[in-house]
Amino acid sequence: MTITVTPEAFSFVSFDSAYIARIATHVAEQLGLTDIDINIAVDETSPLTRIDVEVTDSLISIRPLSGALEDTRRPRQQSELATTLAMARSMLRARDRLRGGFENAPLDAELTLPQAAAWDTYILGRISRMDIEVKKQAALYNFRNRHGFNDASDHVFEKIWNTDSVTWDELSALSANTLTLSA
């Protein structure tokens, strides 16, 4: 496994590429991604929190905007927790696509908002079991915004949050059925 972080030196934000690489290495080892190269290209010019992930058989490309790694209380400063969450979210999404029954999932840009919220819930639930601090209430709110504010959607959220293994077809069906129940 080779982890590459660019840029090597940041101009607009106070980030450390070696620190990002150390966190990414730790997360990759936890997730069993030691047999694939990872390229992390940080766009330091945007405070937004978007992260694009591309996956091939031999490479995971993670392209976070700098806001995804930033300390929300100290603008332009790197946050260990935000960096860890960004790396874990990106690598879990990539691992799902490579090895987790998500081979037929649409590209990230083609996911519907409910599908994206359901997949994010699945990812964040697993991250919380890695002893990484996750704001469950924020994830629930995002899920409710896409699936409805009712007991049925809360039940499906808990089911997705607490599962360790689900395929894309199963997750997509849970999301679609929740929307039907909420209608």
CATH number at residue 41: 3.30.2010
pLDDT in tens, the chain (183 residues): 999 999 999 999 999 999 999 999 999 999 999 999 999 999 999 999 999 999 999 999 999 999 999 999 999 999 999 999 999 999 999 999 999 899 999 999 999 999 999 999 999 999 999 999 999 999 999 999 999 999 999 999 999 999 999 999 999 999 998 877 665
Last residue of a domain, one of 57, 81, 99: 99
The pTM score is 0.93
Query: Do residue 82 and residue 131 come from a single domain?
Result: no
Query: Do residue 9 and residue 89 come from a single domain?
Result: yes
Query: Do residue 88 and residue 116 come from a single domain?
Result: no
Query: Do residue 177 and residue 128 come from a single domain?
Result: yes
Contacts of 174 (CB under 8 A, 6+ apart): 118, 156, 159, 160, 166
* Residue recorded with tokens 């730790």: 26
Query: Do residue 178 and residue 128 come from a single domain?
Result: yes
The whole domain housing 119 covers: 108-182
SS3 state at 38:
strand
Query: Do residue 90 and residue 175 come from a single domain?
Result: no
Bridge partner residues of 5 (DSSP): 40
Last residue of a domain, one of 99, 122, 144: 99
- Give the pLDDT score at 100: 86
- Give the pLDDT score at 182: 60
Provide the 8-state DSSP code for 75: E
Note whether 50 and 65 are within 8 A (CB): yes
Query: Do residue 89 and residue 133 come from a single domain?
Result: no
Query: Do residue 10 and residue 91 come from a single domain?
Result: yes
Query: Do residue 92 and residue 16 come from a single domain?
Result: yes
Query: Do residue 165 and residue 84 come from a single domain?
Result: no
Query: Do residue 19 and residue 72 come from a single domain?
Result: yes
- Give the pLDDT score at 183: 59
CA quadruple 15, 19, 25, 26: dihedral, nearest 10: -110
Last residue of a domain, one of 66, 99, 132: 99
Backbone angles phi, psi at 3, to 5 degrees: -115, 125
Query: Do residue 91 and residue 113 come from a single domain?
Result: no
* Domain count within the chain: 2
